[in-house]
């Protein structure tokens, strides 16, 4: 008998249940299959336009900057404008996201684009969020070669592109969206929920930006 079997055996003994309890197994499988939703706050139950406005308000409250563009073709110019306004080099790190690749980056002649995961030497990185959560102004990003997780944490400035249609009222709706896209029981290697730039108040309760990640978060919403 392995150590695992010993531990689980003690747990079953203390609960006075059998390892072959068919009814308990049925209950567990039903719960996993149904994926029950949690309590949804009233402020998340808004029409689509209201969810967009709430997301922008909450993201701003937590320190993110935002801009809205009409389509993906306007994203490269907005990225360049952001870099120039903060006196940053015309360089970005970006994954292989199909929506970003088709945005027409060739229009920005002076912008250098590095592809793949960040090695920690990038000042600015561009990601595409899977979804936004209106009730908290949170971005949901799934890891993968299209949007490497390292870009979420290593560059000083994180620029995130978000499709307005992918903004959901609540977190539970994002989990539903993920299950629909990936399939039941399938998850990316990492799934990051990001609200505002990195900050910490550990030292004398003084807020320090960039403590554990980017010191600035800029969201470009494609309407």
Q: 46-59 burial, b if ≥16 CB within 10 A, otherwise e?
A: beeeebbebbbebb
Closest CA to 94 of 159, 140, 39: 159
Same domain for 24 and 61, yes or no, is: no
**Please, what is the Cα angle at 49 between 43 and 52, to 5 degrees?**
70
Same domain for 61 and 146, yes or no, is: yes
Same domain for 21 and 105, yes or no, is: no
Is residue 40 assigned to a domain?
no
Sign of the CA dihedral 180, 185, 188, 193?
positive
Same domain for 30 and 87, yes or no, is: no
Q: What is the mean pLDDT of the chain?
A: 89
Task: Look at residue 74 in the predicted model and tell me its pLDDT.
Answer: 97
Same domain for 175 and 86, yes or no, is: yes
User: Distance between CA 19 and CA 177 in Å, rounded?
Assistant: 34
Element containing residue 4 per DSSP (H, E): helix 3-15
Q: How sure is the predictor about 45, in pLDDT bands with cuts at 50, 70 and 90?
A: confident
Asked if the model's pLDDT at residue 166 lies above 80, the reply is yes
Residue 113: strand pairing partners: 92
Asked if the model's pLDDT at residue 206 lies above 60, the reply is no
Q: How many domains does the chain fold into?
A: 2
Q: What is the pLDDT of residues 111-154, one digit of tens each?
A: 999 999 999 999 999 999 999 999 999 999 999 999 999 999 99
Same domain for 161 and 202, yes or no, is: yes
Task: Look at residue 40 in the predicted model and tell me its pLDDT.
Answer: 80
Task: Pick 12 or 103 by higher pLDDT.
Answer: 103
Domain containing 182 equals 45-222
Is residue 180 assigned to a domain?
yes
Asked if the model's pLDDT at residue 201 lies above 60, the reply is no
CATH of the domain at 83: 3.40.50.10420
User: Distance between CA 112 and CA 89 in Å, rounded?
Assistant: 9
User: Distance between CA 184 and CA 180 in Å, rounded?
Assistant: 7
Is residue 39 assigned to a domain?
no
Q: How sure is the predictor about 39, in pLDDT bands with cuts at 50, 70 and 90?
A: confident
Residue found by looking up tokens 């209106």 in the block: 134
Same domain for 111 and 163, yes or no, is: yes
Same domain for 106 and 20, yes or no, is: no
């Amino acid at each position: 008998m392995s150590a695992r079997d010993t531990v689980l055996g003690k747990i079953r003994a203390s609960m006075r249940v059998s390892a072959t309890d068919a009814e308990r197994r049925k209950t567990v499988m039903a719960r996993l299959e149904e994926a029950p939703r949690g309590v949804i706050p009233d402020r998340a139950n808004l029409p689509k336009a209201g969810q967009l406005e709430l997301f922008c308000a909450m993201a701003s409250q937590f320190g993110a900057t935002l801009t809205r563009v009409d389509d993906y073709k306007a994203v490269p110019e907005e990225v360049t404008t952001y870099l120039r306004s903060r006196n940053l080099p015309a360089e970005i790190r970006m994954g292989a996201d199909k929506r970003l690749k088709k945005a027409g980056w060739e229009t920005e002649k002076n912008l250098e684009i590095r592809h793949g995961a960040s090695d920690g030497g990038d000042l600015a990185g561009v990601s595409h969020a899977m979804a936004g959560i209106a009730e908290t102004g949170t971005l949901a990003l799934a890891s993968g070669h299209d949007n490497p997780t390292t870009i979420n944490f290593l560059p000083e400035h994180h620029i995130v592109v978000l499709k307005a249609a992918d903004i959901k009222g609540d977190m539970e709706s994002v989990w539903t969206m993920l299950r629909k896209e990936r399939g039941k029981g399938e998850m990316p290697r990492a799934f990051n929920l990001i609200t505002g730039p990195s900050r910490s108040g550990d030292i004398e309760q003084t807020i320090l930006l960039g403590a554990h990640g980017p010191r600035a978060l800029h969201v470009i919403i494609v309407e």
